[in-house]
Structures are given as structure tokens and as C-alpha cells.
Amino acid sequence: MPKPEVDPTVQLELSVDRSSPVPLYFQLSQQLEAAIEHGTLTPGSLLGNEIELAARLGLSRPTVRQAIQSLVDKGLLVRRRGVGTQVVHSQVKRPLELSSLYDDLEAAGQRPATRVLVNRLVPASAEVAAALGVAEDSDVHRVERLRLAHGEPMAYLCNFLPPGLIDLDTDQLETTGLYRMMRSAGITLHSARQSIGARAATKEEAERLAEEAGAPLLTMQRVTFDDTGRAVEFGTHTYRPTRYSFEFQLLVRT
Amino acid sequence: MPKPEVDPTVQLELSVDRSSPVPLYFQLSQQLEAAIEHGTLTPGSLLGNEIELAARLGLSRPTVRQAIQSLVDKGLLVRRRGVGTQVVHSQVKRPLELSSLYDDLEAAGQRPATRVLVNRLVPASAEVAAALGVAEDSDVHRVERLRLAHGEPMAYLCNFLPPGLIDLDTDQLETTGLYRMMRSAGITLHSARQSIGARAATKEEAERLAEEAGAPLLTMQRVTFDDTGRAVEFGTHTYRPTRYSFEFQLLVRT
DNA sequence: GAGTGGTCTAGACCACTTA
DNA sequence: AAGTGGTCTAGACCACTCT
């Protein structure tokens, strides 16, 4: 009876296309990630050593390392000196993302709807001006939206954006998410500072979300920065906690 | 009048110690990070090119790149092809962390106090068993704690841990955080899956936190995994939203 | 065209783990 | 002692941005 292969990657038909413009390390990391996602590489399985893997693919060791490292950074693999590289045991795989409510809902198959309540220029309040780094009372966009799922209100979103950044077409706001609009306008999102809390609904808030006054609401405030460090969005959101909660995975910084 | 230096790193007396066991790239990244933290490298300033920097320090380019890349991953630097490497403009610098309430409070100078309400072995409920990956009705540790700041209750923490992992000394639980105890027991935390929501307080919850029944509460559930993929902790926490909110910075995955 | 970062190579030596 | 990942070198060519 033949001894089973120790290195599961040998059965994985890995290959790279050197004529492709896609970087070699990226081609490799995508194939490995797909194999993990797909269950071909099972949790706990030990990848073969880097040098042998590099030789088999006709790549240099640093290139293979770069591919593996990117998956380690995503939390999919764990490396141990003297031991090897293993697929992480835990079932949780989704990377941490700057979540977009619209995308979240769409991914969950909830077919979200958006109703734009307000879309106009207003003078910046002190709080908005500080968050966006603009002068107080200068013009900023104010967008108020109600997000619905299955016809039921789920969240009330109030956002402020500096002027001249993107074209805030109301129709487009109703059919896609704000982040997606910013990305297609060539804005590279970089980081966001978030604060998540809770409070009792005021009468107006309750009415908007079809709740009762005093009902608990989940709140989120966020300032988003692009890769030049500009604040590109300040948002104050309220969610119905019976309909929505924040789910995410954190990687421990090392 | 002499033209000012374009590359601010030349005035930075960077140096590496080749006799140190600390990796060279790490020595460099720490010096750069300190300079950014300290304000010596101001937001928006352009670092000199990698090759020149490598030559000045007597390092190879890949080593310098590794140092710079680690700061890019932390969100402190931004690289642009054809342009250069810049210190990020935004004022936010704190990295995303797996937050420990105890550490958060201590960092905020709130001198937290902990009262251990329960610390014993209990049979695992279905929910706990699923979260920790143990058999239903098998023994698990149950720890209930009340976290206070300035003498006021701030959060009620209920945690479950698999048996035999760490010594859950009650005195130690009152003077430090659970995460810190796990780390000193040699457990390497790796990732956590969190869910943050809100709900109205039940009568018992309200009493524990000195709130009224029906008051809004901020809730957090978390499963934490170590680097072998074992679930090492499952927690169900409730926070007084007037006293606590979750603040964190996200980096956009690219 | 000049300068930047992005990618890649083919080696090397070391530290750690396991047996 | 053998095998692993961790670090490091000294080059190379390419793609992109700016002037």
C-alpha cells in the first residue's frame, strides 16, 4: 500500500503563466487561497517546504515566500519555524474589511433598497467641519438615506462629503452604495476611524425606522480617508438592532 | 541661501546594528515609525528613494523594502509608483487591535476595577459547545465579571473557556485582563470573530449594570482563536452605552 | 527621459524545532 | 542531525508618473 503524500500541494496542479501581466506571486497566492476556500487544502494540512515548492513551479524562493506571506497576513496560513506552513484550523476565513452596508446586504442575498431622503449642499457644522477638515460653514454635501431590506427599514444613514469629490447623482445613490461610487470615481479608500455605540431612539429616529421612541438603536460614526490622507466622508448612521449587527473578524497584530 | 533637503530621512541619523539579534529591517522600520510618531517625519513628507536609502545604510534594497512595507501595512506610509513613498496625511495612527476592555480602560487612565461574580466549571450549553468546538455538556470554565470605572459599573462580561488551558485564578482575574492572562500562559492569540449589536436590557441585566429595565445596551459576542486554530475563549458582553463605545481604525484591504 | 516603486532571481547563512 | 522558516544580498528588468 503506497504511503499517502505528505505535501498536499503536489496534488494541486499549481501553475503560473509567465506571459500574464498578473504577478507570479499573486497567481500562486490566488491558487492557494482558492484551494483553501474550496476545501482542497484542509485546515491543519501542512504545505510542503518553500524551496521544493519553488523548484516545482520554476520560481525563486522569495517569490514563493511572497505568495505565502500574503496568505499569512490574511490569516489563512500559519508559519512555524522548524515545523512548516499550515492551513489555519479555524473555520473563520473572511478577512476583515471596511464594510459597506450595501455590499453586506447584497452578499447576504437581501436585495437592499435605498431611499434618498436628502441630497444637497449645506454649510458644515462644527462637528462636520472638524471631521472632514474643512472650514466651518463652508459648503459640504449632505446625503440622508434610508436603507431597506424586504421592504422594512433597516438603517438610517446620514453622510457628509467635501464638495467637488464625486458627482452625487441621486438615482445612482439609490441603486448602489456610496463606497462603490467613490471607488469608481477613482478614489482609493485607505482607512477609516469608526465608533460603534448604542442609544435610545428619539421620536424622529423612531419614526424613520418604524420603531418606538426609546427603543434601542445601534449607532455608528465613521470618518473615511483616502490614500492621500484626505477625509472623504463622514457618516452618522443608526441601525435597528433587531435587523442588523456588525460582524467582523479581527487579526491580532503581532 | 541653501536649498532645503528634499529627503527628510537624511537628517534622521538612521543606523542599524549588525551585531544585534534584532532583524535589520525591523530596526529600520522601528526607527522610521518612531520618527513618524514623534513628528520628525511630518505627514505628507516624501521619503527618499529606496535604493539611495539602502546605500546610505549599507543594506540591500529588499531589506529596506521590507522595512518600508511593514509600515505601509500598518497604514503609516503610502507608496506610489513613479512618485515615491509618503507619510500618510491623516492624523489617525493607531493600528487596529483586538481590543481588550481592560487595556483600553487602563490606557485611557480610567483605573478599571473588576469584580468576579462567578468562576467555576459548568457543562457547556449547545451554543457554548459550538463556539468552543467542544462536546455539549462537557466541562468548560464560566467566568462572569463586572467591570467598573470610577466605581460605576461599565460592563458585564461573561466568558467561557475550554478546560486545562490556563489557571483561572480569581485574584488574578480581578487585577488584570483575561487576554493578558492567556498571553502570559503562552497562548498566541491569532484572530477573533466578533459581533456587535444592541438590545433593550432585561431586568437582571439592568440590575447588574445599575440601569433601568428596557434601557439600551451595547452587546458584543466574541470567539477568539489561537495560532493553532483552537477556540480559546467565547464571550458574551454587555456594555452601558452611556459609558462605553467601540472605537477602532480599519485599514482597507487592497 | 529620468526617476520611482513593483517584481523577480539565485544564491547564502542563521535560528528554531523535531527526532 | 536534518529539515524548516527567517533573514539577507546584489544584482536585474519592467511599469508607471512626472516634466
Minimum-distance residue to D4 (CA–C1') = A82
Are B214 and A214 an interchain contact pair (Cβ–Cβ within 8 Å)?
yes
Nucleotide closest in space to B18 (CA vs C1'): D8
User: Tell me, what's the pLDDT at A44?
Assistant: 82
> Is the CB of B231 inside 8 Å of chain A's CB atoms?
yes
From CA B160, how far away is CA B125, in angstroms rounded? 10
Q: Which three cell numbers stand for residue A177?
A: 452604495
Domain end, chosen from B33, B55, B87, is at B87
Q: Does residue A225 sit within a domain?
A: yes
> Is the CB of A88 inside 8 Å of chain B's CB atoms?
yes
Using alpha carbons, select from A61, A80, A95, A74 the residue that is nearest to residue A32. A74
Tell me which residue range forms the domain holding A155.
101-239
From CA B157, how far away is CA B172, in angstroms rounded? 16
Q: Does residue A248 sit within a domain?
A: no
- Closest residue on chain A to B216 (Cα): A216
Minimum-distance residue to C14 (CA–C1') = B21
Strand A152-161 to B152-161 pairing: unpaired
> Could you list the pLDDT tens digit for every one of the 254 residues in chain B?
333 445 666 667 788 888 889 999 999 999 999 998 888 888 888 887 899 899 889 999 999 999 999 999 888 898 988 889 988 876 554 544 556 666 666 666 677 889 999 999 999 999 999 999 999 999 999 999 999 888 889 999 999 999 988 999 999 999 888 988 988 888 888 888 888 999 999 999 999 999 999 999 999 999 998 887 788 999 999 999 998 888 888 877 66
User: Within this chain, do residues A114 and A80 fall inside the same structural domain, yes or no?
Assistant: no
Domain end, chosen from A62, A87, A112, is at A87
Specify the residue for cell string 457547556.
Answer: B124
User: Within this chain, do residues A162 and A36 fall inside the same structural domain, yes or no?
Assistant: no
User: Tell me, what's the pLDDT at B13?
Assistant: 73
Give residues with Cβ within 8 angstroms of B105, minimum separation 6. Answer: B111, B112, B147, B149, B154
User: Within this chain, do residues B58 and B107 fall inside the same structural domain, yes or no?
Assistant: no
> For A186-203, what is the mean pLDDT?
90
User: Tell me, what's the pLDDT at B126?
Assistant: 95
User: Within this chain, do residues A106 and A225 fall inside the same structural domain, yes or no?
Assistant: yes
Please, which pLDDT band fits residue A254 given cuts at 50, 70 and 90? Answer: low
- Closest residue on chain A to B243 (Cα): A197
Among B89, B194, B230, whose Cβ lies nearest the Cβ of A248? B194
From CA A47, how far away is CA B60, in angstroms rounded? 29
| Shortest alpha-carbon distance between residue A254 and chain B (Å) | 9
Domain count, chain A: 2
pLDDT at A5 over 80: no
User: Tell me, what's the pLDDT at A8?
Assistant: 65
Chain B contact probe: residue of A66, A196, A221, A237 with most B CBs at under 10 A: A196
Q: Which three cell numbers stand for residue B124?
A: 457547556
User: Tell me, what's the pLDDT at A238?
Assistant: 96
The CATH number linked to A17 is 1.10.10.10
Q: Which of residues 44-83 of B touch A (CB under 8 A)?
A: 44, 62, 73, 75, 78
User: Within this chain, do residues A159 and A223 fall inside the same structural domain, yes or no?
Assistant: yes
User: Within this chain, do residues B151 and B229 fall inside the same structural domain, yes or no?
Assistant: yes
pLDDT at A96 over 50: no
Using alpha carbons, select from B69, B57, B72, B71 the residue that is nearest to residue B24. B57
User: Tell me, what's the pLDDT at B38?
Assistant: 86
Q: Chain A partners of B44 at a C-beta cutoff of 8 Å?
A: 229
Using alpha carbons, select from A155, A187, A190 the residue that is nearest to residue A168. A187
Q: Nucleotides on strand C with an atom closer than 7 A to protein CB?
A: 2-12, 15-18
What's the CA–C1' distance between A6 and C1, in Å? 53
Among B95, B199, B215, whose Cβ lies nearest the Cβ of A253? B95
User: Within this chain, do residues B83 and B105 fall inside the same structural domain, yes or no?
Assistant: no
Domain end, chosen from B87, B120, B152, is at B87
User: Within this chain, do residues B115 and B197 fall inside the same structural domain, yes or no?
Assistant: yes
Among A197, A225, A229, whose Cβ lies nearest the Cβ of B245? A197
Q: Does residue B251 sit within a domain?
A: no
Sign of the CA dihedral A62, A66, A69, A71? Answer: negative
> For A166-174, what is the mean pLDDT?
92
Mean pLDDT of chain A: 86
User: Within this chain, do residues A56 and A137 fall inside the same structural domain, yes or no?
Assistant: no
> For A227-251, what is the mean pLDDT?
88
The CATH number linked to A186 is 3.40.1410.10
pLDDT at A4 over 50: no
Q: Does residue B27 sit within a domain?
A: yes
Q: Does residue B94 sit within a domain?
A: no
* Cα-based distances in Å from A48 to A10, A26, A81, A174, A235: 8, 18, 13, 49, 47
From CA B24, how far away is CA B59, in angstroms rounded? 8
Q: Does residue A253 sit within a domain?
A: no
User: Within this chain, do residues B173 and B54 fall inside the same structural domain, yes or no?
Assistant: no
pLDDT at A147 over 60: yes
> Which has the higher per-residue pLDDT, A106 or A238?
A238
> Is the CB of B23 inside 8 Å of chain A's CB atoms?
no
Give residues with Cβ within 8 angstroms of B135, minimum separation 6. Answer: B124, B129
Among B191, B200, B230, whose Cβ lies nearest the Cβ of A250? B191
Minimum-distance residue to C17 (CA–C1') = A82
Strand A246-251 to A231-239 pairing: unpaired
User: Within this chain, do residues B126 and B161 fall inside the same structural domain, yes or no?
Assistant: yes
Q: What is the pLDDT of residues A214-224, one digit of tens each?
A: 999 999 999 99
Contact A121, A142 (CB under 8 A): yes
> For A85-91, what is the mean pLDDT?
79
> Is the CB of A252 inside 8 Å of chain B's CB atoms?
yes
Q: Does residue B40 sit within a domain?
A: yes
User: Within this chain, do residues B163 and B207 fall inside the same structural domain, yes or no?
Assistant: yes
Q: Which three cell numbers stand for residue A7?
A: 505535501
Are B197 and A218 an interchain contact pair (Cβ–Cβ within 8 Å)?
yes
Q: Chain B partners of A230 at a C-beta cutoff of 8 Å?
A: 89-90
Q: Chain A partners of B246 at a C-beta cutoff of 8 Å?
A: 194-197
> For A64-91, what is the mean pLDDT?
88
> For A183-196, what is the mean pLDDT?
86
Size of interface A-B (CB pairs under 8 A): 161
Q: Chain B partners of A245 at a C-beta cutoff of 8 Å?
A: 195-198
> Is the CB of A21 inside 8 Å of chain B's CB atoms?
no
Q: Does residue B253 sit within a domain?
A: no
User: Tell me, what's the pLDDT at B95?
Assistant: 45
User: Tell me, what's the pLDDT at A13?
Assistant: 73
